[in-house]
Amino acid sequence: SLASRMHLKNMSPVLKRAFKKTNLNQKNIDYISVTNGPGLIPALIIGVQTAKTLSYALKKPLVGIHHIEGHIYANWLKKPIKLKTHKGKNNFKPWKPEFPMLCLVVSGGHTQIILMKRDLNYKILGETVDDAVGEAFDKVAKLLGVGYPGGPLIEKMAKIGNKNKFNFTRPMMNSGDYNFSFSGLKTAVLYEVRSQQNFLHDKRGLRGVESVEVSLDNQYKSDIAASFQQAVIDVLIYKTVKSAKKHKVKNIILGGGVSANKELQKQLSQKIKKEFPLCNFHFPYSKLTTDNALMISIAAYYRIKNNKEIGNWKSAKADANLKLK
Ligand code: KG4
Ligand code: ZN
C-alpha cells in the first residue's frame, strides 16, 4: 500500500512535466502505452488505471507492455531523443538488429537469459531459481549498511576494493543449464561479515557484551563489494557466453537496472571479443538501463508495427504474473 500511495502521489506531477517538456497534446499523441506486468499489483494498478483514463479521455488506443520487453527494447534506441527539437514529430530512428539474438536481463526482480529469433519473439533459456541479481546487490549493500539502491553503491565501493580478497562461491557455475542462483552467495557474504564483526568485537575486549555494534572499516567493505561483484559477473558472463555460442547468435544485449554496471559491461564485452568475436555486444545508453517510461514506448512501437495486441481503455488490465510472450 505504501508503493501504491507513492505512485499515486507522483503520477500527476510526472505526467504534467512529461506533457510540458515534450509538447505533446491530443493531436500529436497516437497511442498510449503502459507497463501492465509483472510486478507489485498495487503499483501496477495505479499505472494501468492512469493509462486507461488517458486512453479514454484522449480517445487513443492503449498498448500494454511486459516490463522485461521494455528493458530489452531499451537497446533499440541508440541515441537520446532531443526533447528541445521534438515538435510532435516521430524522430525515432530505431536500431535494426540481426537475429538470433541473446538478451541477458538483470534487474531487481529478474535474471534471465532470453533467446530472440525475431522481433517480439522470446524463449527463456534460463533464469534465477531464487533471488534476482539486483536484489542480491541490494541485500549485500544493506548488510554493509551503505543504503539503497545497492547496485550503484556497491559498484562505486568495488572500484577501490580488491576483488580477489574473498573467494566467494560462484553459484550454479557448473550446473549444466542456464539457470542462476544468488541467495547462497548473499548468505556467504553475510557469514563473512558476521565473522568479521565478531572478530572486531572480541578484539575490542567486548566478548560477552551483546549490545555493542562494531563498525566495519571502508577498505573491508570495499573488498567485500569488489569480491561479491566479481562473483556475480563471473557467473553471468560464463552462462551468457556459453548459451550465445550454443545458439550461434549474432548479437548479445544487456537489459535491466544491473546493466548500468560498468564492470559488467566491460568484462562481458572483453569476453565476447575474445571468445566469440563474430558476435556483437550492445547495452542501453545509461539513462535507459534502470526503469523508465521511454523503454516501454519503444517496445510499444514494435507491438504497433507488428499489429500485436493493441487494445483500448476497456481491455487493459494489470497482471502481477504477466508472462513474456
Ligand atoms: O530494472 P530496475 O531499475 O528495476 C527493476 O525492474 O527491478 O533494476 C533495479 C535494480 C536494483 O536492484 C539496483 O540495485 C540495480 O538494478 N542496479 C545496479 C546498478 N544500478 C542499478 N546493480 C549493479 N550495478 C549498478 N550500477
Ligand atoms: Zn526494471
Q: Is the CB of 222 under 6 A from ligand 1?
A: no
Instruction: Specify the pLDDT at position 87.
Output: 58
Closest-lying ligand 1 atom to the alpha carbon of residue 134: 12
Q: Give the predicted TM-score (pTM) of the model.
A: 0.94
Closest-lying ligand 1 atom to the alpha carbon of residue 132: 12
Among 70, 73, 63, 74, CA closest to 33: 63
Q: Which residues surround ligand 2, an ion (CB under 5 A)?
A: 107, 291
Distance from C-alpha of 189 to C-alpha of 104, rounded to nearest angstrom: 24
Low-confidence ranges of the chain (pLDDT < 70): 82-91, 211-212
146: three-class secondary structure by DSSP:
coil
Closest-lying ligand 1 atom to the alpha carbon of residue 138: 14
Distance between Cα 285 and ligand 2 center (Å): 15
C-alpha cell at 99: 537475429
Residue whose CA is closest, atom 16 of ligand 1? 257
Distance from C-alpha of 30 to C-alpha of 300, rounded to nearest angstrom: 11
Residue 291 CB neighbour total at 10 angstroms? 17
Among 169, 188, 165, CA closest to 180: 169
Convert the pLDDT of each residue in 185-222 to its tens digit.
999 999 999 999 888 888 888 887 776 677 889 999 99
Q: Is the CB of 155 under 6 A from ligand 1?
A: yes
Distance from C-alpha of 116 to C-alpha of 102, rounded to nearest angstrom: 6
Q: Is the CB of 70 under 6 A from ligand 1?
A: no
Q: Is the CB of 257 under 6 A from ligand 1?
A: yes
Distance from C-alpha of 293 to C-alpha of 313, rounded to nearest angstrom: 19
Instruction: Specify the pLDDT at position 90.
Output: 60
Distance from C-alpha of 1 to C-alpha of 5, rounded to nearest angstrom: 6
List of residues 6+ apart from 198 with CB closer than 8 A: none
Bridge partners of 63, per DSSP, are 33, 310
Instruction: Specify the pLDDT at position 19.
Output: 87
Residue 140 CB neighbour total at 10 angstroms? 25
Instruction: Specify the pLDDT at position 131.
Output: 97
List of residues 6+ apart from 110 with CB closer than 8 A: 68, 127, 128, 132, 256
| 164 secondary structure, DSSP code | T
Distance between Cα 138 and ligand 2 center (Å): 14
Among 256, 278, 260, 319, CA closest to 127: 256
